[in-house]
Amino acid sequence: PASADPVLPYRDPARPIEERADDLLGRMTLEEKIGQMVAIWEHRGRIQAPNGGFSAQRAGRAFPHGLGMVSRPSDRRGQENAPAANKGPRETAEWVNAAQRWAVERTRLGIPILFHEEALHGYVARDSTSFPQSIALASTFDPQLVEREFNVASREMRARGVHLALAPVVDVARDPRWGRIEETY
């Protein structure tokens, strides 16, 4: 793959970001650009072995031009006969690492995959720290406490290879009948 050539402008961290992005976009085919817009969750079986491990062969067949994002790598969606519990930290990190190896080493341009998880009250995954919901955190009127708690969540997520957190922002709840009011600050 082109990703093996470190002299390509888009691979050179010393170059300006805009130049790197322009170079990468100029090299991408339409199919590769579309591939970067694809995010999977429900149909993760397309990139997994029956035991739930990441399958480079299945991924290559299903997404020959790359894959943009995988949602919730800690859950077991797409795994045949999955146990009730989701993946623990080590299993999640191994799955994410295998997927990244495929993306970086076996796709033409070596564009890494983004991974996202939920962080409504800390990292919502097995063996991670759970904090009070946002509405309870807001009632403390202590922004530094909220920041410390989400620093914990970010470290736990990053240790498993996750880049993005779906977390509350300043949702303003105007109607108590809305079913997710506990997610608001």
pLDDT digits (tens, 9 = 90+) for 105-118: 999 999 999 999 99
Q: What is the DSSP string of 95-162?
A: HHHHHHHHHHHHSSS-PPPEEEEE-BTB--STTS-----HHHHHTTT-HHHHHHHHHHHHHHHHHTT-
Query: Would the pTM of this model clear 0.85, i.e. be above it?
Result: yes
pLDDT digits (tens, 9 = 90+) for 13-38: 999 999 999 999 999 999 999 999 99
